[in-house]
Structure 1
Amino acid sequence: MFQRLAEIGYQVAATNHAQAIVAHDFPAEMEELCVALETFRISAQDLIASGGGEAGSTQRLRRDLAAKGWHKHNFIQRATIDGIEREAISHEIDHVRRGRKGTIALEIEWNNKDPFFDRDLENFQRLHALSAISFGVVVTRGAELQAQMTDLVAGCLARHGVEDEEGLVAFDMKERTARQRVIVARQMRAGFSFREAFARAFVADKFGTASTHWEKLQDRVRRGVGNPCPLILIGIGLERVDLEGTQEVAEEARLL
């Protein structure tokens, strides 16, 4: 099933025998996740309209997973001494799927600050040590999507004929700050067109290197964050961006 994801542009990696666990104990549950990811698409216009936070397409993926039984859950760990509760720790997980042979925890980190990866992986580690989950899954932006983000935004502006600040109205963006306008103006003085200047500034501001994406996730895994919890790591590929049906997707996002 992971080969299917790889064929349509996802990056997939596994740690601590997670693939063997999936194959033997969770094939049906992971099939649900794979089907949801196979139908997942994000428009270039949605990248801009979302302002970089929780994109409309990511919200649609969350709803699709919830409909399949992958619900948000708050695990509560309590310490009691002589019948008196001394401490309670909560671990909120975006999507939890309880299967016949165990429980899966999944986090979608589309565009957060990269320390959220530490929180997610450490939560997985604790919950796995308590036998509350069998393995964890993290979905984030893939390496190629991250690398091509500036070109995607600039290309989207070109397809919509945007040549100045006024053209951004079509994307229902928040009011640009004075600082953001100054940065774009500086880029234009350096010889970039408005589209290029805006794309460079926008991506640096909203999808920068300190946000959640594949390489930042891999950095944590290489350092052993989350060990020994088995992990499935999934990067959303450039191929999942819909360069054509942008207006339809953005219109749906505005209704969310």
Structure 2
Amino acid sequence: MFEDIQKRGFQVEFHAHARAILGTDFPQAIAELEAVLSTLSIPIEEIIGSGGGEAKGTQRLRRALAQTHWQKVNFTIEKSINGIRRESISHEVDHVRSFENGTIALEIEWNNKDPFFDRDLENFKRLHAEGAISVGIIVTRGETLQNSLFDLVRRYAQEKALTSVEDLRAIGLNPTRPQQADLTRRMQNGTGFDEAWARNFVQSKYGAATTHWRKLEDRVHRGVGNPCPLLLIGLPVSVVTFGENLDTAAIAEGDEAEI
């Protein structure tokens, strides 16, 4: 199960019998997810251009899931006493797929603040308790991707010969005054521009307090979301590509213009 994407470096982790449930009742879901994830790629320009928001590669992942009927659903749970409604709670999930044997909910957390994991896991827990879903799935940045972001960004800076703030502006990035001050401070200590900018960018946009594998795993191992069966998928560094000749277009069209 998921052997092909694991060979590519994807992290795959099952909790609370999710492996048995998916393998027995949802083979079609496994096939659809493997097909979509196996073709995922994110050019480095899109990681830079996203400004820390959702890269266009993950937007393509969302569209590919939607095309295979993993649609956004707003679950509404209403409780009443003697026919009088006392409580109504809504839970929106970005990707939901219903099958003959049940329903699966999936969230992609590319780069939110890490408390979004608490929201997702608690939503899954409540929906599972109410019988609305059979399994919850979370896709996020894996360990190899998170740990390699500095090297990836520095490599991009070196290949594009970025040596100044003016070079950043030329590719559509707009460093704030505090960011420029941080770059100056780092370079005064003898650090090259490529390294100073890469560290500034990664710490600002993809830092430890954002959604990535370790933050998700910490919560699940503490029991957040339990007893909902869970599948965790970590995107590997291998999804990041160089040399696709996107030039600066992906950066200029990014969600944010800051570095």
TM over 0.5: yes
Local SS of the residue matching 1:188: helix
Local SS of the residue matching 2:246: helix
Change (3 A) 1:249 1:165: closer
Residue 131 of structure 1 is matched in structure 2 by 131
Change (3 A) 1:193 1:252: closer
Q: CA RMSD in A?
A: 1.8
Deviations 1:125-168, CA, capped at 9 Å, x for gaps: 00001110000000000011111111101101111121111222
Count of paired positions: 255
- Could you tell me whether the CA contact under 8 Å between 2:45 and 2:247 is conserved in 1? no
Corresponding letter in the other structure for 1:194: F
Q: Take 1:44 and 1:105, find their aligned partners in 2: how far apart are those partners? A: 29
Local SS of the residue matching 1:31: helix
Deviations 1:31-55, CA, capped at 9 Å, x for gaps: 1111110000011111110101111
Corresponding letter in the other structure for 1:68: T
Residue 147 of structure 2 is matched in structure 1 by 147
Change (3 A) 1:218 1:250: farther
Deviations 1:193-227, CA, capped at 9 Å, x for gaps: 11110110110011000000000001001100000
Residue 169 of structure 1 is matched in structure 2 by 169
Q: Take 1:48 and 1:252, find their aligned partners in 2: how far apart are those partners? A: 6
1:1-256 to 2 correspondences below 5 Å: 1-173=1-173, 175-245=174-244, 247=246, 251=250, 254=253
Change (3 A) 1:253 1:80: farther
Change (3 A) 1:221 1:66: same
Structure 2: gaps of 5 or more residues:
none
Identity %: 51
Deviation at 1:86, TM superposition (A): 2.1
Q: Take 2:142 and 2:254, find their aligned partners in 1: how far apart are those partners? A: 27
Deviations 1:80-132, CA, capped at 9 Å, x for gaps: 22322222111111100111111000000000000100000010000001110
Deviation at 1:251, TM superposition (A): 4.0
Q: Take 1:158 and 1:251, find their aligned partners in 2: how far apart are those partners? A: 18
Structure 1: gaps of 5 or more residues:
none
Corresponding letter in the other structure for 1:59: Q
TM normalised by structure 1 equals 0.95
Local SS of the residue matching 1:93: strand
- Could you tell me whether the CA contact under 8 Å between 1:76 and 1:89 is conserved in 2? yes
Deviation at 1:5, TM superposition (A): 1.2
Q: Take 1:180 and 1:42, find their aligned partners in 2: how far apart are those partners? A: 25
Corresponding letter in the other structure for 1:203: V
Corresponding letter in the other structure for 2:37: L
Change (3 A) 1:27 1:138: same
Local SS of the residue matching 1:232: strand
Q: Take 1:249 and 1:242, find their aligned partners in 2: how far apart are those partners? A: 15
TM normalised by structure 2 equals 0.94
Corresponding letter in the other structure for 2:48: I
